Structure formats: C-alpha cells, structure tokens
C-alpha cells in the first residue's frame, strides 16, 4: 500500500516543520514500512545546522523513522485507509544503537525502512534504517509508547 502526503497527514498529528515523512512507498500494517523524506535546503534547521555545510541533524533522522513507524503501527489491516484514533498519542521513548554513517544534505532523498520487532497496546519496538542512494546513512532500534490522551 502507498500513501501520499494528504493520507499521511490524516494519520499523523505532525505538521510543518515537524512532519518528516513525504510519501509511503510500501506499507504492511503492523509489520513494516518504506517511506520517503525529501530533504530540501528550505528546511528550517539548515539555517543553523550548519550554515557553511548544511547537514540534517541525526535526531531528526531518528524522528523521521519514528513517524514512519507510527504510520504502519496504527493502520488497520481491515481498512488501511481509515484515519487513526486521535485520542491516542505516540511518543518516542527510547533509542538504542543509533549509528550515523554519512551526512544527509539538501537534495538527498532519505529512504526510511522500519520493521516492527514488537507491537503491543502500550509499547512498540522497531528496527529502522535510513538510506540515501542505496547507502545506509543511519540506523537505530527505537521504542515508542502509546498513551491515551486526556480529554
């Protein structure tokens, strides 16, 4: 299954400048995702990171992986085009084994590949990696918590 930006925005609460997934190429509900983040010089973080040599911050690459994970974790296999429950919040709570292999720069297309290691009603664990031109630029184990929002 593929998702365009409107379908992504139906599923994630993030908006500019924090929405870090532009397109979903492959999605297997509850199992895995392949998504794209197009890295542009217009990104606000490039103003200060670093003006003489713009590099995408590693923490934002990890955040992009977590957002991609949220997209497939909450997708209903029975109705993959349904909107997610807005009464739930999805928080990044842990990162293990993060490695940054190469800098990500304006003009790069970041390919986000995330696989579920464990998904439960309260805690989810994933293995993610980010690639540019087929080369791994970052990888990490990430953990996310699902919490009920108070009304």
* Catalytic-residue membership of 49: yes
Please list, in sequence order, all residues whose beta carbon lies within 8 angstroms of the beta carbon of residue 15, skipping any fewer than 6 positions away. 9
Task: Provide φ and ψ at 149, rounded to 5°.
Answer: -80, 140
Longest dimension (CA), the chain: 49
Task: Tell me the residue ranges of DSSP E strands in 17-149.
Answer: 23-28, 32-38, 88-100, 109-119, 123-132, 135-148
The residue whose two tokens read 């297997």 is 28
Q: Give yes or no for a cis peptide into 137 (omega within 30° of 0).
A: no
Catalytic residue among 14, 49, 102, 125: 49
127, 144 Cβ separation under 8 angstroms: no
Catalytic residue set? 49
């Amino acid at each position: 299954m593929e998702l365009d930006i409107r379908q992504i925005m139906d599923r994630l609460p993030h908006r500019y400048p924090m929405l870090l997934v532009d397109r979903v190429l492959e999605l297997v509900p509850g199992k895995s995702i392949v998504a794209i983040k197009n890295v542009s010089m217009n990104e606000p973080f490039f103003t200060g990171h670093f003006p003489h040599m713009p590099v995408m911050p590693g923490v934002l690459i990890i955040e992009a992986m977590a957002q991609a994970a949220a997209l497939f974790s909450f997708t209903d296999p029975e109705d993959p085009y349904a909107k997610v429950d807005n009464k739930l919040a999805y928080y990044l709570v842990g990162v293990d084994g993060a490695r940054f292999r190469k800098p990500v720069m304006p003009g790069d297309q970041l390919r986000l590949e995330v696989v579920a290691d464990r998904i439960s009603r309260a805690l989810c664990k994933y293995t993610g990696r980010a690639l540019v031109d087929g080369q791994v630029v970052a990888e990490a184990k990430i953990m996310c918590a699902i919490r009920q929002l108070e009304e």
